[in-house]
Structure 1
């Protein structure tokens, strides 16, 4: 049975990711690769929004992906799972780079010194630079594909023994799982590109599969939702106060117990709260859910266009830059999705859609 609250978590989180990237584009905390500060404010206090959402937006997506992997594998074979995940995740994040995302890569180079380098190299080399720079937000589906393939190997060894044991997870164990989550965040981190945190995101994905895919465990999250919200508020407020002004996306901040605690407890609060209050579907949520992947894949393009061609040259007021960036992100993403999802072959390369796009939402 499809769990509607998981669909709602996914599209709502993608919307939060979109707004996060708007604030991130104009951040005053010195985080590189973006336009940066465009206001005359000494301190952009509203940048706290980034600190309030960054620690948990990707963790909850990996947990939900783990849960959905379990639900899919209950009705499909491992081979079907591998084919489906390869088409939906690996193809858009590899072939899709050459077919479309090099455009995003070009815009990314406009925000870095690479744009000067591209003017001095042959066109084929410049194209490769744009392709690699175009990975952008697709790092998530690259890692997710890797975890999905690893899951198939784990299943061959486990034979559901661990999964059945995890169904007995009680409240104390759920809370104590924070310890391995934090510890995993200390290992398997790439040295330059800080988003590739294989240990941190890996354990969250597998916790989603082994622990939080159990209805019994979700019932505990629903029952103790106020507790997890309290823990979220405590860790979240502390995180924002202590680390405001620092680079929240890289070490040492993203290695701290407070970062892991905020990410973990917020994810549990979202799971419990949405299972309790958000397990429904209407015309709007169904529309958003069907297009959440397209919104995720294309949303950064609109932000970059406004930032580079309007905000960076100072052609518009900073407030208008934020508003137009958000609007352009939604509009361009949905337009691209609706157009590309209707083009045979090309939709497979960019979005992993093989046949009728309606089949991809089932």
Structure 2
């Protein structure tokens, strides 16, 4: 049985990712993007509000979902499914779509500067520069492999059974694990690969938050958690506004991790109470959320480049045009891709019509 609150968190965060990327392309705080178009500084506030927690929350949700998936599948079947649903799209998507944003970036940066480089070599470089949001699938596949190894060691599921005993005090104390994981296994150049914290959050989802008893605790404390998250979020934004919110100094700060942890707990508890429902809209968004996540960024970069390079409009109009264009165009592209058998398999891991 599907957990509607998990589906709603998942597609809700995908919507936040799309909104984040629109504002990120115009950011004024020095965070490198594919466009670096002129923006309005106050609009960056949204970036600070969501960046510390929304992707870590997505890993928690993925971990919970993995628990439910493995109740119906063997480890071998689970990994096979992850290869189809994550690994293949995260690699093939780079070459099918990623080159678009890579091309735009190289064009603006003048990377090749008239050098005589074979077209195929340029295409490969464009593709490698256009990984974009597909990093999430890379990390999630790695976390899935690590989970299977742990399950092999813990054959009697003792860790999961032990985690059922968590109360609100122990759940809050897990903050120290979250904070500590922010220092672990971070790649030095490609900063989105924060392996330590993302794998840890995935495992917390699997071992802690897949228990309905734990969810009931979060539902009971949802209002208090939400208030605490809002207060810590205000303090975080006040403390770091104007600074690079993707820097290690920011992401490893205790305030950043406290805000992220409280917000994740509030989201899980709030969604479990208030958004545990399904209707035609939520079903559609659930069925298309991964496609939107995979497809939106390269086309958003292209749209933003065309608007800012050729129309020369006021900055606020640029924001609106990108938002409207992405909202109209990306769902249409997703519907086309889903109907193309080979392309949908390579980019979305869909093997047959549903």
Q: TM-score range by the shorter chain?
A: over 0.9
Does the 8 Å contact 1:301/1:329 carry over to 2?
A: no
Mapping 1:229-240, distance limit 5 Å: 229-240=226-237
Mapping 1:174-253, distance limit 5 Å: 174-253=171-250
- 1:342 aligned to 2:331? no
- Give unpaired runs (5+ residues) of structure 2: none
CA distance in 1, matches of 2:27, 2:211: 39
C-alpha spacing 1:86/1:215, structure 2 compared with 1 (3 Å): same
CA distance in 2, matches of 1:187, 1:142: 17
Does the 8 Å contact 2:97/2:295 carry over to 1?
A: no
Partner of 2:103: 106
Match of 2:289 among 264, 269, 292: 292
Match of 1:67 among 33, 44, 64: 64
Name the SS of the counterpart of 2:248 in structure 1: coil
- 1:123 aligned to 2:119? yes
CA distance in 2, matches of 1:124, 1:112: 19
CA distance in 2, matches of 1:110, 1:219: 52
Task: State the Cα distance separating 1:330 from its structure 2 match.
Answer: 2.6
| Mean CA deviation greater in 193-202 or 347-356 | 347-356
- Give unpaired runs (5+ residues) of structure 1: none
CA distance in 2, matches of 1:147, 1:345: 27
Q: For 1:229-276, what per-residue CA distance to the aligned partner results, in whole angstroms no more than 9, with x for missing partners?
A: 122012100110010010001211111111111111111100000000
CA RMSD of aligned residues (A): 1.5
Partner of 1:140: 136
CA distance in 2, matches of 1:302, 1:131: 14
Mapping 1:38-117, distance limit 5 Å: 38-39=38-39, 44-114=41-111, 116-117=112-113
CA distance in 1, matches of 2:73, 2:5: 21
Does the 8 Å contact 2:236/2:256 carry over to 1?
A: yes
TM-score by length of 1: 0.94
- 1:20 aligned to 2:20? yes
C-alpha spacing 1:119/1:331, structure 2 compared with 1 (3 Å): farther
Partner of 1:9: 9
- 1:316 aligned to 2:313? yes
Does the 8 Å contact 1:18/1:326 carry over to 2?
A: no
CA distance in 1, matches of 2:150, 2:115: 47
Aligned length: 353
Does the 8 Å contact 1:302/1:325 carry over to 2?
A: no
Task: State the Cα distance separating 1:331 from its structure 2 match.
Answer: 2.6
Task: State the Cα distance separating 1:314 from its structure 2 match.
Answer: 5.3
TM-score by length of 2: 0.96
Partner of 2:322: 325
